[in-house]
Amino acid sequence: MITAKLVAGTDSHQVRLYDISAQRRPVMSVDFRETAIKAVAEDVDGRTIYIGNGSGELASIDIRTRKLLGCFIGKCSGSIRSIARHPELPVIASCRLDCYLRIWDIKSRQLLSAVFLKQHLTSVVFDSHFRNKEVAGSAPDLQNVNEVESPEQEAVCTKRKKSSKEHSGSKKVKSKKSRKRLEGDDY
Q: What is the pLDDT of residues 142-159, one digit of tens each?
A: 333 333 333 333 333 333
Query: What is the predicted pLDDT for the residue at 74?
Result: 79
Calculate the alpha carbon distances from 153 to 48, 70, 115, 162, 165 in Å.
41, 43, 22, 14, 18
Query: What is the predicted pLDDT for the residue at 68?
Result: 93
Closest by Cα among 41, 102, 48 to 70: 48
Residue ranges covered by each domain of the chain: 5-130, 136-187
Taking all residues of the chain, what is their mean pLDDT, rounded to a whole number? 77
Query: What is the predicted pLDDT for the residue at 184?
Result: 62
- Decide if 35 contacts 45 (C-beta within 8 A): no
Distance CA(92)–CA(85), nearest Å, equals 4
Query: What is the predicted pLDDT for the residue at 150?
Result: 34
5-130 CATH = 2.130.10.10
The DSSP annotation for 107-159 comes to: TT-BEEEEEE-SS--------TT--THHHHHTHHHHHHHHHHHHHHHHHHHHH
Query: What is the predicted pLDDT for the residue at 154?
Result: 37
Query: What is the predicted pLDDT for the residue at 90?
Result: 94
Query: What is the predicted pLDDT for the residue at 4?
Result: 81
The pLDDT tens digits along the chain (187 residues) read 456 889 999 999 999 999 888 778 898 899 998 999 999 999 999 999 999 999 999 999 999 898 999 999 877 788 999 999 999 999 999 999 999 999 999 999 999 999 999 999 999 999 887 765 544 444 443 333 333 333 333 333 333 344 444 444 444 455 555 555 556 655 4
